[in-house]
Chain A
Amino acid sequence: MFFENVKLALKAMKGNKMRTILSLLGIIIGVASVITILNLGNSATGSITSSISSSGYNILYLSPGSGSRNTDTFNELFGQTLTENFEEIDTVMPTVSSSTRIRQGNEITSCQIMGVETDYGNNMDCELEYGSWFDYTDNIFKRQVVVLGSEIAESLFPACDAVGNYVSIFRNQSKRYLVVGVLAEKDSTLSTSYNTSIFIPYNTFAQRFQNVSSVGTYVITVAEGYDPVKVTDKLTEYLDNLVGSDNYSLMSSASLAEMASSITGTLSSFLAAIGGISLLVGGIGIMNIMLVSVAERTKEIGIRKALGAPPRIIKGQFLTEAITLTLTGGILGIGLGIGISRIVTGMAGWTFSVSLSACILSVAFSMAIGVFFGLYPAAKAAKMDPIESLNYE
């Protein structure tokens, strides 16, 4: 009987294609937006968490502005001030950076150059493919040594090992630097794309490469057991008092992630509201079309009753029809939603992922809508008087 009802429902839908599509529009849009939200939420969260894990959740970046007052505050010793004042802060590494060009033989490439302290490599979990990071003496004696990012090493030394060779780095005039290490491939972080950067000792940078009046960025690692977000808040308060909120910027992947997730959260609830409203409107549309269908088929109902269909079966027939209708809408909506989220993730550069639970939920939900909004018309059909409906023209 159920199978016959589904067949009947499909027949009725096919007979009225345009009407079916129009009445399903609400459900299709509703389901599509819910699917899009959930898929995008999935993809966005995936992208954010992967960027957090690659950039280190416990790392904060403090960049001074270019005010004159800053020059006094943000010097090399400022790091010490911070570690002394905050037990939450493990290390503070001053870094400076600039862009430059680097040459080896006939190969020239532009890159980001960073002056960093010896501990930087270790603290930022930089693995070396070849050689080693420069040591303390290199920094103290301002030696001209360099660690290359993987892409830079590859383009300058495609055939041979870079370590032990010299490269020329341009700054007004070119200077020769000894390559001491080559980084393994490493995902970019908020501030640094490792593969296209080169690293020289902080002091070398400050004296030989470019005269630095103040530190470029302090890379701060939060001590284990402390919440980076809370530390960020505390540090913000401290810095606001010290130099004013306009004179520095403090970034952390943790706070960025929090911001991003709160934005996606707001966006999701907004879209979910739209989805919910269109599902409601869609459901009412279904109820409307089912009432029309019941009225149109009064005669059919009368005939079926005369042939001995009990009210329960008439009800079942129209309920099945409503569910088949909304289920079709749900499936079309899922298709549309997946299409939209695929396009959006493609444009945003996120990894595309389909939330299976969202699909299952949508199918279940659209069926539930069919039941809920189909019940009244179906009950109405079941209650019709046999003779009246039989004599209906």
Chain B
Amino acid sequence: MTPLIYMQDICRYYVVGDSIVKALDGVSMKVYKKEFVAIMGPSGSGKSTMMNLIGCLDTPTSGKILIDGDDTQGMDETRLAYIRNRRIGFVFQQFNLLGKISALENVITPMLYTGGISSSERRERAEHALERVGLKERMKHLPNELSGGQKQRVAIARALVTRPSIILADEPTGALDTKTSDQIMELFNELNEEGNTIAIVTHNEEIGNSCRRQIRIRDGKLEEPDVL
């Protein structure tokens, strides 16, 4: 079985002034279909960097990343955008909803970039996704009319609606209280049980341990290197 995510010797260096920051330093790992992975590690260890690389928002300094079998090396922005649109669903700590449009329109937005989906189908799928996260009644609301938990649900619906290969969530509960965090994690668990592949970044040991698999990272290196 081909892994969904395949990372081989990934390095991501930043040049800051005269020095080089090795945000990721030779990371290799695989994520298979239907997995639920927690990426954990102290602050500054390179978790977000790794997520951005998996999500094709960023390109590595060296190394190889395959998404669903496609080598992303040398892809231009247009092709990376295509991968992000079809294969990746992002959920962010700060929700990152578009503030001036309704929850429904937010969920419709990624489908606008897919092409070939009629507006009625876009709407239908968006409503369905919002229903799945339990926010159908709030779909006409603007983001600032929603609570943090509700915003994150909209963001999850937006990530789900394109039926991505993997949902990437960088500290999805970082801006939420414990109770709401638990509800969101519950939702992720359900989604995983329904067959979605999910990777989340978290600080929280409890949350991390509730996931089926943990990848621990420290100073840009995996604590237990994955065997490729």
List chain B residues, Cβ under 8 A from A304. 98, 109, 113
Given A313-B113, A390-B57, A303-B98 contact (CB < 8 Å): yes
Interface membership of A1, Cβ < 8 A = yes
1/0 contact string of B83-125 vs chain A (CB within 8 Å): 1111010101000111011000000011011110000000000
Contact at B81–A311, with CB atoms within 8 Å? yes
Q: Give the shortest distance, in Å, between A291 (CB) and chain B (any CB).
A: 20
| Distance, CA A305 to CA B82, complexed state (A) | 10
Q: Which residues of B contact A225 (CB under 8 A)?
A: none
Tally of chain B residues near chain A (CB < 8 A): 28
B81 touches A309 (CB 8 A): yes
Name the distance in Å between A287's Cβ and chain B's nearest Cβ. Answer: 23
**Residue in B57, B58, B86 with the greatest tally of chain A CB atoms within 10 Å:** B57
Do residues A306 and B82 form an inter-chain contact, with CB atoms below 8 A? no
Task: Closest A residue to B57 by CB, please name it.
Answer: A386
Alpha-carbon gap, A163 to B97, bound state (A): 91
Contact in complex: B52, A309 (CB < 8 Å): no
Instruction: Please measure, in the bound complex, the distance between the C-alpha atom of A4 and the C-alpha atom of B82, giving whole angstroms.
Output: 19
Distance of A144 from chain B, by nearest CB (Å):
89
Q: Chain A contacts of B172 at CB under 8 A?
A: none
A to B CB contacts below 8 Å, 7 in the list: A12-B100, A306-B96, A307-B109, A307-B113, A310-B113, A387-B52, A390-B57
A contacts, CB < 8 Å to B: 1, 4, 11-12, 15, 299-300, 302-313, 386-387, 390
Contacts of A311 in B (CB 8 A): 77-78, 81
Give Cα distance in the complex from A4 to B108, angstroms: 11
* Cα distance, A310 to B81, chains bound together (Å): 5
Interface flags for B32-63 (1: CB within 8 Å of A; 0: not) read 00000000000000000000100101100000
CA distance A300 to B113 in the complex (A): 15
User: A310–B78 contact, CB under 8 A?
Assistant: yes
Among B78, B98, B158, which residue has its beta carbon within 8 angstroms of that of A312? B78
B57 close to A309 (CB less than 8 A): no
Does B81 lie within 8 Å of A305, measured CB to CB? yes
By a CB distance below 8 angstroms, the chain B residues around A386 are 57-58
* CB closest chain-A residue, reference B164: A308
Distance from B64 Cβ to chain A, minimum over Cβ atoms (Å): 20
